[in-house]
Structure formats: structure tokens, C-alpha cells
Amino acid sequence: MSLQIHLHSCRDVAIRSVAREIATLIRNKPHAVLGLATGATPIPLYRELVRLHREEGLSFRQVTTFNLDEYLGLEPTHPETYWNFMHRHLFDRIDIPAANIHMPHAQLAEADILSHCEAYEDAIRVAGGIDYQILGIGRTGHIGFNEPGSPADSITRRIHLDAITRQDAAPAFGDLAHVPKHAITMGCGTILAARKIALLAFGESKADIVRRALREPVTDQVSASFLQNHPEAHFHLDPASASALG
Ligand code: GLP
């Protein structure tokens, strides 16, 4: 199969459908490995997974997770670290053991970056690879933080954040000057190795980049376009994000 587009009647319907898929995966395979994303888009998905845990007994006790990315250089107490984001929205509200959670570190000495990234790739391999990868999409077309120019076979590494990405993050940091300039991100190759991928994009602000990712030729200038070549990639859209597809 090739890439599939799911046009949902609204965001919440899309969220429920993706959450149901994840729940089914975990019930069939309690040791499932999930790839997780940050940003505003997956917040309602995490809310729904928490509801499934609390109200329908969905257990994450044996699940392993790998997050896509993390800002470099933030203090551990900074509210915008993806570590804190994930704990706030998901990990502190479900029964996943701390040892099963994997995220790139925000605080790394220059000399440790390469080995940290290699260890992250190894940990994904040792866990058996990612069964289900959740993605959002940035205005530059990035998945994770794979900014324009990221090769299809790139692996976990340090990336210099694009000016547009930093601008988009500025409100959360109060000021552009406070937005980190670098991040650690899984590579496009790391992401494309996942067995199944669900990219979520909602709202009009995503319409143009969704069109470029889906309707233009595959290019390293829009890393989400690499998903066109993945056998199990699914775009979950609402009418607004799908509005430029024609
Ligand atoms: C950040 C994250 C991406 C995310 C993107 C879009 O750059 N690293 O993983 O997809 O933002 O965020 P939002 O969902 O808030 O539009």
C-alpha cells in the first residue's frame, strides 16, 4: 500500500480514530513501541489516550516510547522542554514505567552529542523498531525537526532550527531570542523505518504545507514528502488542512 489520506469531518473525529488504532495496537501487542510527537496538534490525542487509560483500562505498563525530538540547551525545569511537555500531557497521567520512556536529552556537552544520538538509534533497534509513529508537520514541512535539506536516510542528530520554526515557537518562549537554536531530532530515515506512521494536521494554517507534502514531487526541501514512499503512512486531516488538495 502507499500513502493514504484520511479526510475526517473534524479534528476530534480524527483524534478518536487515531487513538482507537493505538489502543487496538496496544491490546494486541502489549509490548508495542510508540514514536511520539510534541506540538499543539497531538495534545488532544494524548488527552484521549489518558481517557482510554482511566475509563477503559488501557494499560501502557509494557509499552515503550521514543520521542521524536528535544530542544538543546534548556534547563530541565524549563516548561518548554519536550520532556516536561510529554510528562504534563501524557506520561504523568498513564501507567507507563519511567524506564520505558525515551527522549533525546536537552542538556548535552558538545563532546557527548554524537554518542547520545547513536545510543538513541541503538535503543530503538534493541526495542524492536517503532510500531506506530505519530507525527505533526511544521510550516517548513519538517517531521520531527528535520528541516529543509534533511536527507531521506538521515538518522538521529543535532539540527540547526530553521528561522520559520523558531518564529513559530517564539510565543511559547515569550521572545524569539529565548527560542533554542538547536535541537536533537530523529532523522527522516529513523522515522521512515517505523512500521506504521500517522501524520496529524488540522486547521487552515497547515493547508499549504500539507499540499506541498502530498501533491508535489518528493523533495528534501519538505521532509514530510518522504512519506509518499512509505508503505504504511497515513495523513489524518480535517476539512481545513485538506482544503488546498483540490
Ligand atoms: C514542532 C515539533 C514538531 C511539530 C511542529 C508543529 O516543530 N518539533 O514535531 O510537528 O512543531 O507543531 P504544531 O502541532 O504546534 O503545529
| DSSP states of 29-91 | -TT-EEEE--SSTTHHHHHHHHHHHHHH----TT-EEEESEEESS--TT-TTSHHHHHHHHTG
Instruction: Kindly report the backbone phi and psi dihedral angles of residue 34, in degrees, each rounded to the nearest multiple of 5, phi listed first.
Output: -105, 140
Domain ranges of the chain: 4-196+217-235
- Candidates 3.40.50.620, 1.10.1740.10, 3.30.2420.10, 3.40.50.1360; CATH matching 4-196+217-235: 3.40.50.1360
Q: Which of 190, 70, 197, 186 is nearest to 133 (CA)?
A: 197
The pTM of the full predicted model, rounded to 2 decimals, is: 0.97
For ligand 1, the distance from its centroid to the CA atom of residue 41, given in whole angstroms, is 7
Confidence of residue 228 (pLDDT cuts 50, 70, 90): very high
Report which protein residue has its CA nearest ligand 1's atom 5.
138
**Tens digits of residue pLDDT in 16-30:** 999 999 999 999 999
pLDDT computed for residue 236 by the predictor: 98
Q: Which atom of ligand 1 is nearest to the CA of 82?
A: 8
Report which protein residue has its CA nearest ligand 1's atom 12.
39
pLDDT at 246 over 90: no
**Tens digits of residue pLDDT in 107-155:** 999 999 999 999 999 999 999 999 999 999 999 999 999 999 999 999 9
Establish how many alpha carbons lie within 13 A of residue 102's alpha carbon, considering only the half-sphere containing its beta carbon: 26
- Best mutation site among 36, 41, 86 for ligand 1 pocket (most ligand atoms within 8 Å of CB): 41
Which residues make Cβ contacts (< 8 Å) with residue 136, sequence separation at least 6?
37, 38, 39, 41, 42, 143, 199, 200, 201
What does the mean pLDDT of the chain come to?
97
pLDDT computed for residue 1 by the predictor: 64
Edge-to-edge order in the sheet of strand 182-185: 69-71, 182-185, 157-160
**Tens digits of residue pLDDT in 170-208:** 999 999 999 999 999 999 999 999 999 999 999 999 999
- Decide if 7 contacts 239 (C-beta within 8 A): yes
pLDDT at 79 over 80: yes
Task: Please state, in angstroms and as integers, the Cα–Cα distance from residue 226 to each residue in 106, 111, 146, following that order.
Answer: 27, 31, 11
pLDDT computed for residue 123 by the predictor: 98
